[in-house]
A = this chain, B = another copy of it.
Amino acid sequence: MNQDLRVVKTKRTLQTAFIQLLQEKTLDKITVSELCRSSGITRRTFYLHYQNVTKYVEEIIESLLNELEQSMRRTTDYRLTTNGRLDPRMIYLFEHVYNNKEFYHIIFSRNSSFAYYEMFYKRIKVLVRNSMETMDFIDEINDFEVSYQANAILGIIMEWYYGGFEKSIDEMNHILMSVLKRYRVF
């Protein structure tokens, strides 16, 4: 029992119009009315699916982060030796961010909802926690330590964003690794 074809079509045209509008203007200037005008659906239809623009974007960010999780899971095989408190495959994160700049850009935009950042933060926390769990020399995982590490990584990505994502993925990898080494995180 799949989703109704009409719904699929509606969401598809909505997505196309949204991506299009995002290239013309910043997210905070995109209204429900305009989004519906562009995609040729009624506002009523939009509200039957989403509460507002923010909730709509949350769904987009959600699938972006699902994709991130998938691509990080895939890299498990290639993962470096984990001889410390933070799993070095965390660096594969930079790859996904760089390849999806335009969406991660939304998360860090001044006019965006904090909800997007929170979603990102919570995902990274899960990754950090999972990573710590695989390290047998850690007796007990401290929630605050997880938050500390997770948000620290987001700090580096945020700085990358402020610099217009000019640094390459490799440079970012190197930067993170050198900071982690300095603090003997692993």
Residues of A within 8 A of B (CB): 54, 107-118, 121, 142-145, 147-156, 158-159, 175-176, 179, 182-185
Contact = CB atoms under 8 A, between A and B. Distances in A.
Contacts of A142: 175, 179
A177 to B, nearest CB: 11
Contacts of A143: 159
A151 B156 CA distance: 8
A182 B85 CA distance: 10
A158 B151 contact: yes
A152 B159 contact: no
B109 A114 contact: yes
Copies in the complex: 2
14 contacts: A107-B114, A110-B114, A113-B114, A114-B114, A114-B116, A121-B158, A142-B175, A142-B179, A145-B179, A147-B156, A147-B159, A148-B153, A148-B156, A151-B158
Contact of A175 (B54, B144, B185): B144
A103 to B, nearest CB: 15
Given A113-B112, A114-B117, A155 B150 contact: yes
B115 A144 contact: no
Contacts of A184: 183-184
8 residue pairs, one from A and one from B, having the closest CB atoms: A151-B155, A152-B152, A147-B159, A147-B155, A183-B183, A110-B115, A112-B114, A148-B152
Contact of A144 (B109, B113, B150, B179): B179
